[in-house]
Amino acid sequence: MDTSSVKNSAITRSELPLRVINSTPEAIAKAKSRVRRSFRQIRTETVFRQSLIIMGGFMVVLVLGILLTLIVKSVPSIKSLGIKYLWSGTWDPVHDIYGAAPFLVGTLVTSFLALIISIPFSLAVAIFLGEYYPKGWLPNFLKNAVELIAAVPSVIYGFWAVAVLVPIVRSLETHLGARQPIGNGILASSLILAVMVIPYAASLGRSMIQLTPSVLKEAAYGLGATRWEVIRSVILPYTKSGLFAGILLSLGRALGETMAVTMVIGNTSKMPSSIFDLGNTMASVIANEFVEADKPVYVSALMELGLVLFLVTVVINMIGKKIIDRFTND
């Protein structure tokens, strides 16, 4: 409902309603206070409306402020290191050599590996909850469990990974004959990330699959298709953009995830050469080195990493949201 078309300032103020002019003094006083009260209400209303607008604007200011801070603080590094900062492969703050390539590679490799591992699982959850069993105690349990995966704090995942996952990966590496079976590294981080990002793609995929028009499914059943054929040739093609959006949102999460990765990835600034190697992601290098950064260029180089991380996650999330909007509006 649109109430904003009535301008409060257009209402002129008169102290006294006409009907009480020739009345007793008490009636006049009562009428006056009543009028004053209603004008006070109108003033409060105007103030309230304005404060709502300020709050709406506050969100915009906040995001612009974050973006601006990141840009301003990374200007020294952009100026002195230039664009080759992004693909030069040596990170040596002691000698003032900054190249972000190892972290970019580390971030991309861990995130995509995690995504590849998690896709079958999140897709299975989405199909199971969206198509096979939308209701009942078993799917309810699964749904709550998957939501719980999203609720557990990332530092707890990290701690668990340090205590349980890393030894498992270490013995796996020994079996596979890796050069240095440490356990920490890109593989362990990808595994823990994979667990953490399952819920995002799964819950979105589930709601998308439920949006498939039943007419389409029934038509396919009417032609004699089995359930698997309906899923493969009706549901998946119909929902593929929505599923893709869910995977994008998972990717956004994986790229920005800090604590769990920081705790298991090993934190070396060398370019990783295999998935068993130690590495670093953009987020983990900021978490580890930001407090120690003593030179302005060092801080600025870390801020530039933050800026890259911010822009990448924003773009990914925006594309995901756009796809979802288009999908749900059709």
Partner 1 sequence: MEIRSVKYRIGKNYGFKALVMIFAFACVIPLLFILFFIVSKGITQINWHFLTKVPKPVGEPGGGIANALVGSILIVVIAAVIAIPIGILGGIYLSENRKGRLPYWSRICTDVLQGVPSIVIGIVAYFWIVKPFGFSALSGSIALAIMMLPIVVRSTEETLKLLPSSLQEAGFALGMPFHRVIFKIIIPVGTSGILSGVMLAVARISGETAPLLFTALGNNYLSWNIFGTMHSLPKLIYDYSTSAYDEWKNLAWGASFVLLLWVLLLNLLTKLITRKWKVQL
Restricting to residues 131-150, name those near partner 1 by CB under 8 A.
Answer: 132, 142, 144-149
Site for partner 1 in 80-119 (CB under 8 A): none
What contacts 67, CB < 8 A, 6 or more positions away?
310
Count of CB atoms situated within 10 Å of the CB of 45: 12
With respect to partner 1, which residue has the nearer C-beta, 32 or 73? Answer: 73
Among 10, 18, 94, 151, binds partner 1 (CB under 8 A): 151
105-138 b/e (C-beta count within 10 Å ≥ 16 → b): bbbebbbebbbebbbebbbebbbbbbbeeeeeee
Site for partner 1 in 235-294 (CB under 8 A): 252, 255-259, 263, 283, 286-287, 290-291
Among 15, 92, 96, 229, binds partner 1 (CB under 8 A): 229
CA distance 296 to 245: 39
What tokens does 240 get? Answer: 């593929």
Please identify, among the stretches 13-21, 75-83, 98-106, 315-323, the one whose residues bind partner 1 according to the rule CB under 8 A. 315-323
With respect to partner 1, which residue has the nearer C-beta, 17 or 65? Answer: 65
Please identify, among the stretches 12-20, 41-49, 75-83, 95-103, the one whose residues bind partner 1 according to the rule CB under 8 A. 41-49
With respect to partner 1, which residue has the nearer C-beta, 56 or 273? Answer: 56
Q: If binding is defined by CB under 8 A, does position 318 make contact with partner 1?
A: yes
What contacts 117, CB < 8 A, 6 or more positions away?
190, 191, 194
With respect to partner 1, which residue has the nearer C-beta, 123 or 178? Answer: 123
Long-range CB contacts (within 8 A, 24+) of 174-183 = 176/276, 178/274, 178/276, 179/276, 180/276, 181/276, 182/266, 182/278
With respect to partner 1, which residue has the nearer C-beta, 29 or 311? Answer: 311
- CA-based nearest residue to 253, from 114, 71, 63, 59: 114
Site for partner 1 in 49-78 (CB under 8 A): 49, 51-53, 55-60, 62-66, 69-70, 73
Measured CA to CA in angstroms, residue 33 lies from 27, 28, 113 at distances of 10, 9, 71
Q: If binding is defined by CB under 8 A, does position 48 make contact with partner 1?
A: yes
Site for partner 1 in 198-227 (CB under 8 A): 198, 202, 226-227
